Amino acid sequence: MRAKTAETKTAETKTAPYRRAGPAGFLPAGFVLAAAMGGACATPPKPPELEALEKMRGDPAANAAAKADQNRVSNADALLARAQEEWKDSDLEEARNSALLGQVKLKHALAVAEQQRAQQRIAAAEAEFRAAQEEYERLQRDHSAVKEQVALLQRLEEAAVERQRLAQQLTEEQKRANDDRLRAGAADKIAEAELALKNAEAVRAQQHANVPYSAAVDNLRRARGELGRGEVSAAKASAEMSKIKAEEAAALAKPRHEQESQVEENRARAEALARDAAALAGVVVRREARGSLQRLVIPIQAERLFDRRSASISPNKEVVLDPIAALLKKYPSYPVQVVGYTDNRGRTAEKLAFSLARAESVFSGLVLRGVDPKRLVVSGQGSADPVADNRTAAGRSQNHRIEIVFLYQ
């Protein structure tokens, strides 16, 4: 058996002539000696801590870790040998302690090796982007935007208080118009965030940049909920944060040269889309920019699809959707909004609900014609964003419409 240390001998002296025999108390030293002599020829079961250490050391990763942290792996090997010797000497407590300490040493060495590999991957990624000054500057702006998010969130409360003060000064009609405008602005921000998230998904950001991608998804979900509750300023701020995170995720997931080639490809495809859309019968297509977001809008007058005051598409008018669905399937990569609008008569909540119901009917019709529902975002904007004068019957008829909006940058 392994020679005991002076400390161990002292402890044995203090407990003689009795030794602890577990929860039952103490047994005479002679009894313990007799039991030890009787079992000296049998090796006790190997402690699970020692088995775990042997398994860890037998893993090829431990040999790789020796190159990164030879000192700790050597210490772990020494502790493994000691634990094995202590086990064979029936000193199970010491064997467990040595094995546990060996596990700590070996795990530390494995962590050091993993850290070095991570540092090598980081160095390689930094080398790829070092030459791209424009990308570096954009990432710097994103970094600054992240640092400003706390200030942005702090301004939410101030914005809400200011909005309440202004609302008290407006007439009921002015308040409805302002609410519609703010809601449309927040909806545009949400659309920008949706587009940014679609772009991030196109480069598999969920796999390659999961942290900013998940933050973008969470902020977009929050923005939609806030808009649904009428918290327009909060929805706008959450959508802006979603867009920032989605763009950050896209930047991390896709090399610059792929981004440049994709931009060129998108531009050519957008021009082709505009030409095909302009060839549709019965509509006047318009292109517009809202910040960095480009929109190709295909307006469909409500009377071409719906009977008066009906939110369901008339069976004899469903054919209007056929060329629209064909265009959507020809250009499957674009996210598309299906937006319903009304004139300014009636209560805001009723207009929003009616315009949304009509937009959902168009959504269902397009899906039945083979359009991927994951591409489509449905909303009802009520009387927001009129295209004609609501004081005339003809103008109100034009404002009752469904817009199919292709989104791109």
Q: Is 147 helix (H, G, I), strand (E, B) or coil?
A: helix
More confident residue, 87 or 263: 87
Q: Output phi, psi for 163, to 5 deg.
A: -65, -40
- Beta strand extents in 241-368 (DSSP E only): 286-290, 293-301, 336-341
Residue type, 34: A
More confident residue, 181 or 380: 380
Q: Burial level of 236, CB count in 10 A (0-12/13-18/19+)?
A: buried
Q: State how far the Cα of 372 lies from the Cα of 332, in Å rounded to an integer.
A: 8
Q: Is 312 helix (H, G, I), strand (E, B) or coil?
A: coil
Q: Residue 337 gets which letter from DSSP?
A: E
Q: Measured at the alpha carbon of residue 261, what is the angle toward residues 257 and 265, in degrees to the nearest 5? A: 165
What is the distance, to the nearest Å, from the Cα of residue 326 to the centroid of all Cα atoms in its chain?
32
pLDDT at 11 over 60: no
User: If phi over 0 gives left and psi between -120 and 50 gives alpha, with beta otherwise, what is residue 342?
Assistant: beta
Residues 75-86: what's their mean pLDDT?
A: 94
pLDDT in tens, 193-222: 999 999 989 999 889 889 999 999 999 999
pLDDT in tens, 324-380: 999 999 999 999 999 999 999 999 999 999 999 999 999 999 999 999 999 999 999
Q: State how far the Cα of 310 lies from the Cα of 215, in Å rounded to an integer.
A: 40
pLDDT in tens, 289-337: 888 889 999 999 999 999 988 999 999 999 999 999 999 999 999 999 9
Cβ-contact 314, 306 below 8 angstroms: yes
Q: What pLDDT, on a 0 to 100 scale, did the predictor assign at position 75?
A: 94
CB contact set of 44 (below 8 Å; sequence gap of 6+) = 87, 90, 92
Q: What pLDDT, on a 0 to 100 scale, did the predictor assign at position 290?
A: 83
Q: Output phi, psi for 294, to 5 deg.
A: -100, 140
Cβ-contact 108, 69 below 8 angstroms: yes
Pairing of strands 336-341, 376-380: parallel
Q: What pLDDT, on a 0 to 100 scale, did the predictor assign at position 273?
A: 93
Residue of 208, 205, 207, 267 whose CA lies nearest to 242 = 205
Band of residue 167 on the pLDDT scale cut at 50, 70, 90? low
pTM above 0.75, yes or no: no
Work out the mean pLDDT of the chain and round it to a whole number: 85
Band of residue 178 on the pLDDT scale cut at 50, 70, 90? confident
Measured between alpha carbons, how far is residue 217 from residues 151, 237, 326, 403 in Å?
A: 21, 14, 30, 25
pLDDT in tens, 48-69: 999 999 999 999 988 888 888 8
Q: State how far the Cα of 260 lies from the Cα of 350, in Å rounded to an integer.
A: 45
